[in-house]
Amino acid sequence: MSPVLTETAEGVVLAVHVQPRACRNEIAGLQGGELRLRLTSPPVEGAANQLCCEFLAKLCGLPKSRVELLGGARSRHKRLLLRGLSLAEARHALGGV
């Protein structure tokens, strides 16, 4: 099992490393056991956290309300819960992570 994704009773926990102020929103591969995301928003007043949740919800086909930030609100290293998603569905949506 990949350390990037961890299956729980509620869904899948995803470990990400966020690079704010990028040119576009995109997955930039794996880095140190985390999925690396490049996001256009600055890390100010929670804008990068909000965009991170919205971007992952869109990628996984989930409503925004089902993506929850579990840890790392003030860090580039974050843990997010993709509620109601199976491990196989998450891997497929995120490009086989």
Q: Which domains can be identified in the chain, with CATH numbers?
A: 5-93 (3.30.1200.10)
Predicted model pTM: 0.92
Burial state string for 25-38 with b = 16 or more CB within 10 A and e = fewer than 16: bebeeeeeebbbbb
* Three-class SS state of 87: helix
Could you report the per-residue pLDDT of 29-42, keeping only the tens digit for each? 999 899 999 999 99
Among left, alpha and beta (phi > 0; psi -120 to 50; other), residue 69 is beta
**Greater confidence, 12 or 2?**
12
- The DSSP result for 20-71, as a single string, is -S-SS-EEEEEETTEEEEE-SS-SSTTHHHHHHHHHHHHHHT--GGGEEEEE
The average confidence (pLDDT) of the chain is 94
Could you report the per-residue pLDDT of 74-88, keeping only the tens digit for each? 999 999 999 999 999
* Model confidence band, residue 3 (pLDDT cutoffs 50, 70, 90): confident
